[in-house]
């Protein structure tokens, strides 16, 4: 059976309900026929097995007992072989269907989670640790897979085996039937007793596992910092502490299991014993035949099996449910609606922006931006200057609606920003981030990331030239096909920034945001990039954040931010004429440059 697209696209959001069993049931949507088929196959296999014991009883009684032999020996032999084949064949079929169900559900779940996580809000990602997400998407998803591979099908198996064999024994002799189930209530009570405890122990274990994953992940990302500060011993100790805690919690979990198994073994063993004794006595008293007794011995094993497994099932289901809950926590998160809102043809967007008393806070009570008001006409360049933490990045992050402003209004071409769809805004706005991220792919793939692979090489190179990175790329062994990152070349901060600039330029956005994009390049390269950008900035609204006055002095509007407020505004000449932060920065920077120049001339 193949899995159709509609099954794969089932919206798993529906599974994030407070009743976890209901959620798991919904998770099976699209796979229930597989599951039913697997259960029915199991039923046929179980019937065949039970019939084998009944045939054995018949065979023994008629060939070794009173001597009447109504069925020929070859036929009986054929019966044994036939039953074995039916049992084997259907067991196999059931196993396959179960595996398909479990793998299918898990595959769908993984795909969904991957997609879902990418659609969650900035705020969610700010608050959530990567290691935690990784752990839930791997270890917990695997526990859910185990639930569908073992426990979900286990319910059907247990009920079938138990019912079929119990009815068969009842038919042999009612008293044997009753004797074979005396332990059932005890097993159920013991399992229920352990269910909650294992559940809790497992939850604690998974939580600690997530902490450990986070510690490891963070340590790997920050390995350079660790080395630079020679803090290996500190980090090692921290890791060992968390690892020890995981060990303790794991031990507790294993202890639960190791207490549970002997308890259920004793119960089942006692039950078998009673059954054997009662059966043997019945044979001695002539109440049943030897054949019946032999059949009983075989069948009772298949009553004990489901009983033992009922306990295992109940206990393991608790772990599956805990993990499912942890996965549900992610599924429950609201996605950022990308397409809600209006769009305009790209060509019609002019790029006129008005901020009216805009305010924003990440956390209630601590405003990051306050009463920001300004207006810029299509194609103008707005520069933001201000000390670190003054809210420059935050301000530009409002434009693509990464975050929603909390008061005031922003108008784009006269329409409130909140009315445009996020997807549309993000297509029209190009950002060169403060700390650009490049994927471990080729340089070419990185540059074409926003536009797809089919861009002509000439355009890619034009963007690279504009970003003053073309020559650098040509110097690499494989040129544009050079791999970046772990498996390829390591780019310097400035090179990364320039690749990121090329990536954004190729996208040809109506609104361009350069967040400190030239901070890691030298003055000469900066001048080079600035020239290229000047041409590119023509005809598009641009936001430039920079610390060097040189980079922003040509802007149409300069906003000086301090603690989230605009403290000065105007063009370069006006601001230099005013007494204020701008002039201070300008004076410091020109003085430093003049001194540098003097030193260089003296030296040469």
Residues of this chain that interact with ligand DGT (CB under 6 A) are 126, 362-363, 368, 386, 388-394, 434
Query: Which positions lie near Mg ion, rule CB under 5 A?
Result: 393, 434
Q: Kind and range of the H or E element at 381?
A: strand 381-386
Q: Which is nearer to ligand DGT, 319 or 497 (CB)?
A: 497
Pairing of strands 407-412, 415-416: antiparallel
Contact 134, 113 (CB under 8 A): no
Q: Which is nearer to ligand DGT, 295 or 385 (CB)?
A: 385
What are the CA-CA distances from residue 557 to residues 154, 383, 385, 583 (Å)? 70, 6, 11, 15
For the CB of residue 389, give the shortest distance to Mg ion in the complex, in Å: 8
Residue 363 binds: one of ligand DGT, Mg ion, none (C-beta under 5 to 8 A by kind): ligand DGT
Q: Which is nearer to ligand DGT, 363 or 454 (CB)?
A: 363
Residue 386 binds: one of ligand DGT, Mg ion, none (C-beta under 5 to 8 A by kind): ligand DGT
Helix axis angle, 290-332 relative to 73-119, nearest 10°?
A: 10
- The dihedral through the CA atoms of 10, 12, 17, 22 has a sign that is positive
Residue 390 binds: one of ligand DGT, Mg ion, none (C-beta under 5 to 8 A by kind): ligand DGT
Q: Which is nearer to ligand DGT, 363 or 579 (CB)?
A: 363
For the CB of residue 457, give the shortest distance to ligand DGT in the complex, in Å: 35
Q: Of 390, 385, 412, which is closest to residue 401 (Cα–Cα)? A: 412
Q: Say how far apart CA 21 and CA 311 lie, in whole Å.
A: 18
- Those residues whose C-beta lies under 8 Å from the C-beta of residue 45, and which sit 6 or more positions away, are 86, 87, 88, 89, 90, 91, 94
Contact 328, 158 (CB under 8 A): no
Residue 394 binds: one of Mg ion, ligand DGT, none (C-beta under 5 to 8 A by kind): ligand DGT
For the CB of residue 500, give the shortest distance to ligand DGT in the complex, in Å: 15
For the CB of residue 435, give the shortest distance to Mg ion in the complex, in Å: 9
For the CB of residue 515, give the shortest distance to ligand DGT in the complex, in Å: 7
Q: Which residues pair with 383 in a beta bridge?
A: 544, 558
Residue, CB closest to Mg ion: 393
For the CB of residue 159, give the shortest distance to ligand DGT in the complex, in Å: 52
For the CB of residue 388, give the shortest distance to ligand DGT in the complex, in Å: 3
Contact 358, 373 (CB under 8 A): yes
Q: Say how far apart CA 177 and CA 288 lie, in whole Å.
A: 13
Residue 368 binds: one of ligand DGT, Mg ion, none (C-beta under 5 to 8 A by kind): ligand DGT
Q: Which is nearer to Mg ion, 187 or 513 (CB)?
A: 513
Q: Which is nearer to Mg ion, 135 or 393 (CB)?
A: 393
Residue 388 binds: one of Mg ion, ligand DGT, none (C-beta under 5 to 8 A by kind): ligand DGT
For the CB of residue 142, give the shortest distance to Mg ion in the complex, in Å: 39
Q: Of 171, 49, 20, 45, which is closest to residue 97 (Cα–Cα)? A: 45
Pairing of strands 511-515, 381-386: unpaired
Q: Which is nearer to ligand DGT, 466 or 501 (CB)?
A: 501
Q: Which is nearer to Mg ion, 256 or 429 (CB)?
A: 429
Pairing of strands 541-545, 381-386: parallel
């Amino acid at each position: 059976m193949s899995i159709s697209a509609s099954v794969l696209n089932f919206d798993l959001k529906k599974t994030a309900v407070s009743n976890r069993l209901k959620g798991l049931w919904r998770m099976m949507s699209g796979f229930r026929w597989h599951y039913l088929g697997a259960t029915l196959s199991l039923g046929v296999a179980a019937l065949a097995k039970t019939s084998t014991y009944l045939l054995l009883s018949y065979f023994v009684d008629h060939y070794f007992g009173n001597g009447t032999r109504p069925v020929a020996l070859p036929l009986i032999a054929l019966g044994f072989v036939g039953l074995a084949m039916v049992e084997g064949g259907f067991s196999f079929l059931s196993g396959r269907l179960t595996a398909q169900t479990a793998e299918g559900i898990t595959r769908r779940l993984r795909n969904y989670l991957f997609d879902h996580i990418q659609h969650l809000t900035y705020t969610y990602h700010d608050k959530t640790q990567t290691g935690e997400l990784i752990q839930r998407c791997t270890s917990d998803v695997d526990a859910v897979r185990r639930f569908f591979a073992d426990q979900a099908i286990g319910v059907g198996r247990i009920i079938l085996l138990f019912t079929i064999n119990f009815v068969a024994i009842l038919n042999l002799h009612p008293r044997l039937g009753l004797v074979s189930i005396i332990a059932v209530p005890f097993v159920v009570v013991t399992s229920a007793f352990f269910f909650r405890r294992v559940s809790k122990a497992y939850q604690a274990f998974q939580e600690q596992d997530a902490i450990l994953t986070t510690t490891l992940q963070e340590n790997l990302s920050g390995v350079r910092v660790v080395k630079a500060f020679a803090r290996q011993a500190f980090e090692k100790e921290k890791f060992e502490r968390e690892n020890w805690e995981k060990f303790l919690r794991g031990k507790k979990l294993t202890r639960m299991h190791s207490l549970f198994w002997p308890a259920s073994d004793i119960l089942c063993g006692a039950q078998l014993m009673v059954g054997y004794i009662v059966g043997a006595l019945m044979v001695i008293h002539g109440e049943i035949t030897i054949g019946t007794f032999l059949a009983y011995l075989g069948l009772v094993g298949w009553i004990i099996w489901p009983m033992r497994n009922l306990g295992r099932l109940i206990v393991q289901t608790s772990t599956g449910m805990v993990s499912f809950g942890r996965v549900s926590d992610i599924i429950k998160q609201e996605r950022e609606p990308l397409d809600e809102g209006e769009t305009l043809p790209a060509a019609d967007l002019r790029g006129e922006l008005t901020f009216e008393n805009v305010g924003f806070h990440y956390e209630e009570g601590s405003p990051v931006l306050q009463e920001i008001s300004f207006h810029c006409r299509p194609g103008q360049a707005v520069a933001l200057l201000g000390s670190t933490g003054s809210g420059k990045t935050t301000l530009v992050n409002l434009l693509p609606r990464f975050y929603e402003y909390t008061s005031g209004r922003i108008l784009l071409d006269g329409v409130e920003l909140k009315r445009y769809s996020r997807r549309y805004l993000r297509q029209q706005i190009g950002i060169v981030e403060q700390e650009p991220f490049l994927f471990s792919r080729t340089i070419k793939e990185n540059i074409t990331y926003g536009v797809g692979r089919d861009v002509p090489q000439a355009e890619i190179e034009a963007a690279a030239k504009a970003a003053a990175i073309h020559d650098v790329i040509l110097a690499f062994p494989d040129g544009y096909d050079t791999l970046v990152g772990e498996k390829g070349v390591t780019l310097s901060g400035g090179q990364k920034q320039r690749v990121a600039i090329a990536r954004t330029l190729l996208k040809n956005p109506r609104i361009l945001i350069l967040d400190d994009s030239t901070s890691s390049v030298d003055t000469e390269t900066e001048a080079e990039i600035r020239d290229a950008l000047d041409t590119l900035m023509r005809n598009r609204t641009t936001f430039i954040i920079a610390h060097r006055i040189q980079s922003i002095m040509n802007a149409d509007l300069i906003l000086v931010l301090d603690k989230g407020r605009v403290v000065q505004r105007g063009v370069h000449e006006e601001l230099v004429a005013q007494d204020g932060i701008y002039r201070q920065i300008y004076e410091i920077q020109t003085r430093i440059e003049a001194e540098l120049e003097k030193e260089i001339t003296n030296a040469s």
